Chain A
Amino acid sequence: MKIMVAIKRVVDYAVKIRVKPDKTGVETQNVKMSMNPFCEIALEEALRIKESGLASEVVAVSMGTAQCVDTLRTGLAMGADRGIHVEATGALYPLSVAKLLKALVEVEKPGLLILGKQAIDDDCNQTGQMVAGLLGWPQGTFASKVVLDKENQVATVDREVDGGLETLSLDLPAVITTDLRLNQPRYATLPNIMKAKSKAIKKFTPQELNVEIKSDLEVVQVTEPPKRKAGVVVSSVDELLDKLKNEAHVI
C-alpha cells in the first residue's frame, strides 16, 4: 500500500506575525517559513506505518509557489520516498487544495491519505474533510492513534473529540487528519538531508490535473486584534484576591 501525505509551507510557528500596512494580508517576505507542525506529524505517522511493514511507499505532496519544494525536501529528508509539487500562485483555499489532492489520488492510487488537522496560518481545519468528501472516502479526523489492519483493509482511529476520545473503524482507502498527540516527529539527520537531494520531485500544474482554482473568497481586510490594556503586578495573594473581588468584580 502506498501512503500519500499532504504538507504545507507556512510561517514558522514561533514567528511574531505582522499585518501589512495596507491590510491585505500578513508579511511573508524575509520571514522564516517551515513545514506546518501538523503536517510533520502526518508525515511521521506515514513513515512509522511504512517502517512497521504495512506500507510500501510514502509520497509527500505540496501545493503552492516554487518555494514549496524546500518544504518537500524537508519531507524527503525525514524519510518520504518521493515528492509531488503542484505549482500554483495566488490564493489557494482548502477547497482547491482538496480538488488537487483528489486529482493526485487518482494518479497515484494510495490506500491512505494523511494530512494535518489544520494549518497554523489559516487555521481552517477543512482540507482533509473536503478531500474525503470529494473522494467519497471515510475520514478519521483529529487522530491521536492509528492502527492499520492490512488483512481486513480497515483503519482503527482514536479521535480527540470534545470531552474525551472516540474510536472509529474506517474502511480503506481512507483520509486521516492528525492531532498533536499522535506522535513526536523525527528530525532529519544530515546523511538523510544529503540523500533527499537525489530523491525525485515530480511537478504538476493545476491545468495538467484538470483542476480549476476557485477564487470564491474575497479578503475585505486583514487587521491586528485589539490590544489588551496593560495590567498590574501585585505582590501578594491577598492583593490578588482584593483586585479580583473589589476592582474587577469577578469573584
Chain B
Amino acid sequence: GPIAPAQQAAFLRRLLSSLAVLEQRDGKLNPASLSAISAAQKLGGSVTGFVAGKNIKAVADEIAKIKGLEKVVFVDNEAYEKMLPENFATLLVENIKKGEYTHVLSGNSATCKSIMPRVAALLDVSQISDITGIESEDSTRLAFVRPMYAGNVILTVQSTDSIKVVTVRGSSFPNGETEGGSAATEEGIDSKTAPTSEWVSERMEKSERPELASADTVVSGGRALKSKEEFDRLILPLADAFGAAVGASRAAVDSGFADNSLQVGQTGKNVVPQLYLCAGISGAIQHLAGMKDSKVIAAINKDPDAPIFQVADVGLVADLFQAVPELTEKKNALP
C-alpha cells in the first residue's frame, strides 16, 4: 500500500548522508567549524567528518569522540595544512564523489567561504551560503533558510542538485557534545594536486579577550570614538569590565580605530551574544545585519534619532566620553 508521508520522510532521511568539513590549525581542531556537524545532524541521516593536514590522525581521533558522527575521513599530508582552496577543493571533490554524500556542509569562516564555492563549481552544483535554518515543510525535500540584503530579507530556498553544498552560520547551529562518540576513522583519498598558490605569512591579532564570533558579551565602538587612542582608552576597559569580546563598526575599522577582524556587520562578523553593548555606533543597516539577533542590545549614543535605538532594548542618550568611563567604573564596582 501507499507509504504514509511521515514514514516516507523518515525513509528519505535515512538515505541522506552528509559530509561535515572541519578545520584545524597546527593540530588543533577549530571549534567554530563544529557548527557544520550540528547542521548536518539537523538534516538527519548519517554524518561523516572530514579533516586534512599535517600529522592529522590525532585530530581525527579527537573528532571521532564528537557525538553523532558515524565516521571521520582524514588525509594526512602537509600540503593541506593551510587549507589553500586550490588543492583543498580538489581533495574534497574526490572524497565527496567517493563517499557519495548527498550534503556537504562547512562553517562560514573565511577559510571555508573560500573553499566551498570552488568545491560546488567543480561538482557543477550551486552553493547555499550562510544558512541560519533548515526546514522540511513538504516532508520530503529540505529547505534552507538564509539571510540576504544585509539580513533585511530572509530567503527560504530548495535545491534540486544531486549534492547540496552548504555553509552554516555558526551562531544559528550551536555545537553539540564533543565527548561520548565513537566514530570510525578512515583514510581518505589524497588527490595530490600540484599547488598554484603559496602561503607566505600571516599576521594575527593577539588578544586575551573572548573570541568575537562566540562571545557571550560583545562591546563595540564606532566612529564617534574619534581616534584609535580614544577607542583603546574607552572601549577596551569597558569590554574588560564586562568580560566581553571587542567589536567595531565598519566606520571605526575604516578609520583605523580597530583591526579589520573586529568588524561586526554584513561583510564582517555575525555575532549573537547574550548582550551586545555598543557606544558611538549609529546603526547603519550593514552593521545591524551582524548583531540584530543578539538577545539584549544596549546602546549609548548622543544622537536620539540614531537608528541603533530602533533595535536597542536599552538606550542611553548621552555623550559616550562621559558615559563610557562611568559605566566601566560602576560595572567594576558591582559585586
**Within A164-181, which residues are at the interface with B (CB < 8 Å)?**
164-171, 174, 179-181
CB atoms of B205 and A164 under 8 A apart: yes
Q: Smallest distance from the beta carbon of B252 to chain A beta carbons, Å?
A: 12
* A165 partner residues in chain B, CB cutoff 8 A: 202-204, 260
CB atoms of A231 and B261 under 8 A apart: no
CB of B317 closer than 8 Å to a CB of A: yes
* B223 partner residues in chain A, CB cutoff 8 A: none
Binds B, one of A1-9, A132-140, A199-207: A132-140
CB of B152 closer than 8 Å to a CB of A: yes
CB of A118 closer than 8 Å to a CB of B: yes
CB atoms of A231 and B312 under 8 A apart: yes
CB atoms of A228 and B259 under 8 A apart: no
CB of A194 closer than 8 Å to a CB of B: no
CB atoms of A94 and B126 under 8 A apart: yes
Given A141-B114, A160-B261, A220 and B85 contact (CB-CB distance below 8 Å): no
Binds A, one of B14-22, B72-80, B96-104, B153-161: B153-161
CB of A60 closer than 8 Å to a CB of B: no
**Within B92-116, which residues are at the interface with A (CB < 8 Å)?**
109-111, 113-116
* B327 partner residues in chain A, CB cutoff 8 A: 237, 240-241
* Per-residue interface assignment for chain B, residues 232 to 269, with 1 indicating a CB less than 8 Å from any chain A CB and 0 otherwise: 00000000001000000010011000011100001100
CB atoms of A168 and B259 under 8 A apart: no
CB atoms of A162 and B121 under 8 A apart: no
* B150 partner residues in chain A, CB cutoff 8 A: 120, 123
Q: How many residues of B contact A (CB 8 A)?
A: 90
* A217 partner residues in chain B, CB cutoff 8 A: 126, 128, 157-160
Contact of A169 among B115, B200, B254, B266 (CB under 8 A): B200
* A216 partner residues in chain B, CB cutoff 8 A: 125-126, 159-161
A192 to B198, CA, bound (A): 39
A129 to B85, CA, bound (A): 9
A131 to B117, CA, bound (A): 9
CB atoms of B314 and A139 under 8 A apart: no
* A248 partner residues in chain B, CB cutoff 8 A: 275, 295-296, 313-314
CB atoms of B292 and A168 under 8 A apart: no
Q: Smallest distance from the beta carbon of B72 to chain A beta carbons, Å?
A: 23
**Within A108-146, which residues are at the interface with B (CB < 8 Å)?**
117-118, 120-134, 136-142, 144
Given A160-B110, A168-B198, A250-B274, A129 and B121 contact (CB-CB distance below 8 Å): yes
Q: List 12 A-B residue pairs with CB atoms under 8 Å apart, sorted by A's residue number.
A: A120-B149, A129-B115, A144-B260, A166-B201, A216-B160, A217-B128, A228-B311, A237-B318, A241-B327, A244-B298, A245-B334, A251-B334
